[in-house]
Chain A
């Protein structure tokens, strides 16, 4: 029997993700990949996988998988959540072994939004344009996981895990994201309002973008901006005046002005913010 995982419960949203498919923006395909790239890489390193090995991105817990064929080494990173093997708690941010036939379940995280269940050898879904990332905007990559889905696991590499646990991130409290002004800060009357306002993460957020609720930014111009390339971390201001922070599955081009761009390392933190949580921005100079 092949080594793998059978999904028994998939929670609100569980997706296969790696570090995405670079190089296809010209034909309308974004990079996609794990929303919290650091967390994915951390779990993979703990298992001596390549940083970009495919794993399961679990939003708000609720995933239960059965280990098929052979025992597997696993690790959960990202939003710290209860992790159990056949009901026995093993904890997140720790390397653990699960026997064939056992069930691994992830509970709801106490803080943060997205946890990553990585497996030694990496998940072996069919790559699309060189990546196993599931892109909810373009529909490329593996389908969202449903009960009954079976995922293969690749061969383990020559290196062996040499840590038992990895550091847990602190995802509690207000997040302050570093942001570089521009390129289109002149398209709102007062771009500084972005950093003066305490925004609230909207319920209408997903992997494409995080919508921010707060006192709307006022447009400075009546005309329309021609479409421009977009990138992860861009803070776009649509006509409503409430900013959208682009995450992993953002569109490759967009027609609303980008008034600021979040520093790359802080976009992973942004991807762990839950609806209703406060978030602030702080200007930093362009490097």
Chain B
């Protein structure tokens, strides 16, 4: 990130910061989290963009001015010391064989690829506590299932596109399911409620059923 990213219009309360990749979006959001300018209210990272909403009482012109000061240098530093979470996974998902044939790997190699890299939560959405995780390489990039499931159980571990994700609660879903975890992904009695929030790094650890 050497040039100032483009700031696209987003109504009278926000700006959409356009970046080149998920990792750039992650780094930009991390920079905003580590030292948010006073003009910044809410930060919503996503796949290639970060939506920045102005703080209450601040106009979008002042927000634009503040975002021009956000420096790429702070970005790299912020994402390196992100927390690391280990997530135990039983790899017995219904789509493990399909993922193997889609990727040209054996089921064991799929597991090795999933456990053998550090993932990072890029952004949230879909349901409270659901994180879109990006890995370090593209070995496990697979399309969504042709047929969505009406009910994916809580704890299911899935793959779709460039992401891996874990379902915090029963919900419909079209991701390829490769395993399940006992980790509590969302607990309102816990502080913070979400185990996985943007910037958190994740290692998956294989456990026996």
Residues of A within 8 A of B (CB): 22-29, 31, 128-129, 138, 140, 179-183, 226-231, 233-234, 251-254, 258, 261-264, 286-287
Known: A253-B126, A261-B10. 9 other contacts (CB 8 A): A23-B42, A24-B128, A26-B45, A28-B127, A227-B123, A228-B47, A229-B45, A258-B10, A287-B61
Q: Are B125 and A251 in contact (CB under 8 A)?
A: yes
Given known A-B contacts A27-B124, A129-B188, A287-B59, A263 and B44 have beta carbons under 8 A apart: no
Q: Are A253 and B46 in contact (CB under 8 A)?
A: yes
Which secondary structure dominates chain A's binding surface?
Answer: loop
Residue of A nearest to B41 (CB): A22
Q: Are B43 and A26 in contact (CB under 8 A)?
A: yes
Which of B91-99, B111-119, B151-159, B193-201 makes up part of the contact surface? B193-201
Q: Are B60 and A228 in contact (CB under 8 A)?
A: no
Residue of A nearest to B161 (CB): A226
Residue of B nearest to A264 (CB): B13
| A/B pair count, beta carbons within 8 Å | 127
Q: Are B47 and A263 in contact (CB under 8 A)?
A: no
Residue of A nearest to B192 (CB): A27
Option from A180, A231, A262 in Cβ contact (under 8 Å) with B9:
A180
The residue in A27, A180, A254 that gathers the most chain B C-beta atoms within 10 A of its C-beta is A27
Q: Are A227 and B46 in contact (CB under 8 A)?
A: yes
Q: Does B140 contact A (CB under 8 A)?
A: no
A229 to B198 alpha-carbon distance, docked (Å): 13
Closest CB in chain B relative to A21 CB, distance in Å: 11
* Residues of chain B contacted by A227 (CB below 8 angstroms): 46-47, 123, 125, 132
* Residues of chain B contacted by A231 (CB below 8 angstroms): 10-11, 13-14, 44, 51, 53
A254 to B16 alpha-carbon distance, docked (Å): 13
Q: Are B124 and A26 in contact (CB under 8 A)?
A: yes
Q: Are A251 and B126 in contact (CB under 8 A)?
A: yes
Closest CB in chain B relative to A254 CB, distance in Å: 8
Q: Are A183 and B44 in contact (CB under 8 A)?
A: no
Q: Are A28 and B125 in contact (CB under 8 A)?
A: yes
Q: Are A140 and B128 in contact (CB under 8 A)?
A: yes
A138 to B50 alpha-carbon distance, docked (Å): 22
Q: Are A252 and B125 in contact (CB under 8 A)?
A: yes
Q: Are B46 and A180 in contact (CB under 8 A)?
A: no
Given known A-B contacts A27-B129, A28-B127, A182-B10, A252 and B44 have beta carbons under 8 A apart: yes
A7 to B41 alpha-carbon distance, docked (Å): 36
Q: Does B8 contact A (CB under 8 A)?
A: yes
Residue of B nearest to A285 (CB): B9
Residue of A nearest to B8 (CB): A183
Q: Does B28 contact A (CB under 8 A)?
A: no
A183 to B131 alpha-carbon distance, docked (Å): 24
Option from A31, A179, A228 in Cβ contact (under 8 Å) with B51:
A228
A262 to B49 alpha-carbon distance, docked (Å): 20
Option from A233, A234, A252 in Cβ contact (under 8 Å) with B124:
A252
Residues 47-67 of B at the A interface (beta carbon under 8 Å): 47-51, 53, 59-61
